[in-house]
Amino acid sequence: MDPHRRRRRTWCCTFAASPDNSKPGPRKPEPHSKPTFSLPTSPKSRIAARIDPRRILSPGRVSPIDSDPVAGAAVPSPSPSPSPAPPSPVAGDRDVRMSLRGKNGGCMVLEVNSGVLCANSEVFAGLIADYNKGVSSFSGSNKMCRIEVPEVENLGVFRETIELMFENEDGLTKRLLNIGVFRSIDVLEVSAGIMFTKGVLSCLQYLEAVPWTEEEEEKLRNLFTRFKFDEATTRDILGRLYLQDSVDSSSQPNVARQLVWSITTCVDAKARNELKSLMKGLLCKSSVYEKNHLDLSKEDLYSVCHSCLDSLVSLFEEASDTITPEKLLTKKDKNKPLIERISRQVDNINWLLEIMLDGQIAEDFVNIWAEQHQLVKMHDDVSPMIRYELSRISAILFVAMATRKLQCKVEARWGLLQAWFRPMLLDFGWLQRCRRGLDIKVLQEAMGQTLLTLPLNQQYLLFMEWFRHFSSHGTECPNLSKAFQIWWRRSFLRGSETFAIESR
């Protein structure tokens, strides 16, 4: 016969449980009063310190019981004892009746052996000891002890925890494996509440050895904030939940900066795009993850950004045959087409810019990009199929300013447009053919709106340049007609008011 089945049959003979759906009627007065014991509720009491107050909100009691046996449970009839003290329970006797009252209704009655309870739970051992003291001087008391536990969160989990007391170590591990992580966390909570040490240790060992879902992890984290476990027992689990403080944080490398740097230097395009999407999701303001652990500062982002800009300048020097020998790239990078290497650096800068815009720290980049005089100068000397990549960076800034995601001073806006408005006019045809996710209608609207944020005399210079270019290149040039009309109305239809003010 299977040894596991044999043990289960033996266990069934020592443990019984049945639902109790009947409402208890008024108890008749007994001819001889019997002692009644309540769960202590003072701050110094053992129960108040061991059981979560949300689990037991009102005092239970331990008292002799004379009620009829529960339906479906074979309860041995108590025999009168000749001595005042109740007889010691025989192994296998169900001499404790535990009434569980659910927090949301329902009830359950468990009949168990007091020896098993006392050996596994300090809480129940104390209750049963109090009961024995109370009835030691009472003659004729039956030996059935009654324990009531109200406000039980989950009746099934409580019963399952009591059942684990009857398992050996191997059986207990198998039971936890069968019920899974989520329910094992509930069992751990009940075990901690009733001080079931073997159950607590088994649950912690099981939970440490298996993976968790995010929901299970959050549930376990909440449990650890409400219960204090032995440090040696929980060290491995806490190591999975929290960063250890044993190492000085100042000596740890900046993980986020290392990751961002690795992405910008990644050669494989598919992997780079996948990692960019991953990191952007982790770093964005709406991320569900705690960004404090990443610790990516403004200085870190701009440091990586300056490195990408330096690489971009070197690549355009290579494209315009003005690069110095000491700036020649490595042989590995030289094997890649020049246009691919330029496009990669532009993608890196735009990705970093998106992170800056989300963190509202992109204002400084406007000045940095406006001061790239070397790139502006080389723009006219390289092929249009390469130089248009620079206008992709300008396009991100124009759209951000027009959609109010980026606010900067008028000097910064004027510097940006002075440097990059003309290159944008020249590159617009290539931007239309190679959009790379860019919405051309949004870009045209953004360019016009950005121009309109300048003083009228500065708008005049830029709109006249656009007018001349548009008349020569047509659809190869952005259509700023709507913004041009607004500038015209502001400049001339109300011009008489302006002249009147100036003449005073």
Q: What is the DSSP string of 443-482?
A: HHHHHHHHHTTS-HHHHHHHHHHHHHHHHHHGGGS---HH
Tell me the pLDDT band of 333, cut-offs 50, 70 and 90.
low
Mean of the pLDDT values across residues 301-306?
A: 93
Check pLDDT > 70 for residue 380.
yes
Check pLDDT > 70 for residue 287.
no
Mean of the pLDDT values across residues 176-189?
A: 95
Between 192 and 289, where is the model more confident?
A: 192
Predicted local distance difference test score (pLDDT) of residue 268: 86
Between 87 and 364, where is the model more confident?
A: 364
pTM: 0.64
Mean of the pLDDT values across residues 274-297?
A: 68
Check pLDDT > 80 for residue 329.
no
Using DSSP's 3-state secondary structure scheme, residue 332 falls into helix
Using DSSP's 3-state secondary structure scheme, residue 320 falls into coil
Mean of the pLDDT values across residues 448-453?
A: 95
**Cα separation, 80 vs 84, whole angstroms:** 10
**Cα separation, 376 vs 420, whole angstroms:** 7
Predicted local distance difference test score (pLDDT) of residue 320: 85
Answer for the pair 348, 264: CB distance below 8 angstroms, yes or no: yes
Predicted local distance difference test score (pLDDT) of residue 463: 96
Answer for the pair 381, 320: CB distance below 8 angstroms, yes or no: yes
Using DSSP's 3-state secondary structure scheme, residue 33 falls into coil
Mean of the pLDDT values across residues 137-153?
A: 75
65 Rama sector, left if φ>0, alpha if ψ -120 to 50, beta otherwise: beta
| Domain locations along the chain | 3-21+34-74+84-164, 169-241, 255-503
**Cα separation, 10 vs 196, whole angstroms:** 22
Check pLDDT > 70 for residue 153.
yes
Predicted local distance difference test score (pLDDT) of residue 174: 93
- Among 56-60, 137-141, 263-267, 392-396, name the one with the lowest average pLDDT: 56-60
Check pLDDT > 60 for residue 286.
no
- The gap from C-alpha 172 to its chain's centroid, in whole angstroms, comes to 32
Mean of the pLDDT values across residues 373-386?
A: 93
Structure tokens at 211: 């993976």
Predicted local distance difference test score (pLDDT) of residue 70: 33
Q: What pLDDT digit, counting tens, does each position of 183-234 carry?
A: 999 999 999 999 999 999 999 999 999 999 999 999 999 999 998 888 888 8
Check pLDDT > 80 for residue 365.
yes
Q: For the chain, give the percent of residues with pLDDT over 90.
A: 52
Check pLDDT > 80 for residue 21.
no
Tell me the pLDDT band of 492, cut-offs 50, 70 and 90.
confident
Predicted local distance difference test score (pLDDT) of residue 136: 63
